[in-house]
Amino acid sequence: MPRWTPRLALLCLFACSSLAGAAPLTPPDPGVDALMQRYDGQVPGASVLVLKDGQPAFRRSYGLAVVEDGTAVTPASNFRLASVSKQFTAAAILLLAEDGKLGIDDPLKKWLPSLPAVADTMTLRQLLSHSSGLLDYEDLMDPADTRQVHDADVLALLEKQNRSYFTPGTDYRYSNSGYALLALVVGKASGSDFASFLRQRIFLPLGMTNTFAHQDGVDEVPHRAYGYSQIDGHWQRTDQSTTSAVLGDGGIYSSIDDLAKWDAALYDERLLKAASLKLAFSPATKTTEPDVPFYGFGWRINGDALWHSGESIGFRNVIVRYPKQKLTVIVLSNRNEPEPYPLAIDIARRWLDAAR
């Protein structure tokens, strides 16, 4: 009889979930498993999903979701997506535009009139494409204040700053502030709140039942993976920072299984109309960032690839899509390093090269 190990327990768990209707665990791939070796074992882990032609070509998890009690990562484990969340914020704005509740070119101050005069010419389009020039809210926070800030607090900080990095619409600068304000606009235009709007209009309709824009005391994240950082050679939990409660720029928790449903919805009109998807995926702003010639609405654009990374204390994530090849690679991890974008590209090459 084989020795009972965490890896064997995982295989049993995945087999049982497959019988219950979940996507089956794909067979080991020595090449991908070798790339993921540092995530395996009694360490903070990762989930990897490769979707080819709408089907899981590779779906496996590694390491621990909760180091303290040895809870293993599974494909259902929910990670804080950090800035991968921005594509959902952008989708919410596009949905409201389709509803006729707002316009992409609306002045920002139509929805948030308390902003100072520097925001007079800023538009929602500029916030979506990081061309507003808004100041970074992280730089405006009091370092002595350890309370978590929320999207409304971002607005309060910006209300006191009648300056910007550049004239709106003239340049690009990645802006968490812009997406925090967009979350507030979603709330105002929908008559709901941002988290509820996402859940009712995006997550539940797509069957992403375990995905949440997480709010402490309001919802519970099922199958939650907690974030860790390596400090003095040891993994220590670093799950929350003072900015972790801001939702619009990075507060969504999800799993590779739920994100597979999101990816599928980006190929047809089950959620957004074709015109809205084209807006999201078309170059809106030029950038000088590596591998990001252009930014769309919540998506980085590099040739045929649409991608976005997400980094917050204790989490590093990435989604890379190649729509023409019907290929998507998702890597979610609950650790502070390494940044997984190069890893996802290496994984993607295994399928891209095979198709040539």
pLDDT of residue 15 exceeding 50, the answer is: no
Domain extent listing, the chain = 32-77+228-240, 81-213+274-303
Percentage of residues in the chain having pLDDT higher than 90:
90
pLDDT bracket for residue 25 (50, 70, 90)? confident
Range with the lowest mean pLDDT among 5-19, 30-44, 149-163?
5-19
Task: Give the mean pLDDT of the chain.
Answer: 93
Count of C-beta atoms within a 10 Å radius of residue 220: 9
Distance CA 352, CA 333 (A): 23
What's the pLDDT score for residue 22? 59
Higher pLDDT, residue 355 or 28: 28
Rg of the chain (C-alpha set): 20
Top-level class of domain 81-213+274-303: alpha beta
Distance CA 259, CA 257 (A): 5
User: Identity (one letter) of the amino acid at 4?
Assistant: W
pLDDT of residue 354 exceeding 50, the answer is: yes
Taking residues 53-80, report their average pLDDT: 98
pLDDT tens profile 185-221: 999 999 999 999 999 999 999 999 999 999 999 999 9
Q: Is 132 labeled as catalytic in the residue annotation?
A: no
Taking residues 148-164, report their average pLDDT: 98
- The pTM of this model reads 0.93
Is residue 285 a contact partner of residue 131, using CB atoms and an 8 Å limit?
A: yes
Distance CA 342, CA 261 (A): 24
Cα of 124 vs its chain's centroid, Å? 20
Is residue 162 a contact partner of residue 116, using CB atoms and an 8 Å limit?
A: yes
Tokens 């790339």 locate to: 35
Which of 83, 190, 244, 254 is catalytic? The answer is 83
Higher pLDDT, residue 15 or 58: 58
pLDDT of residue 5 exceeding 80, the answer is: no
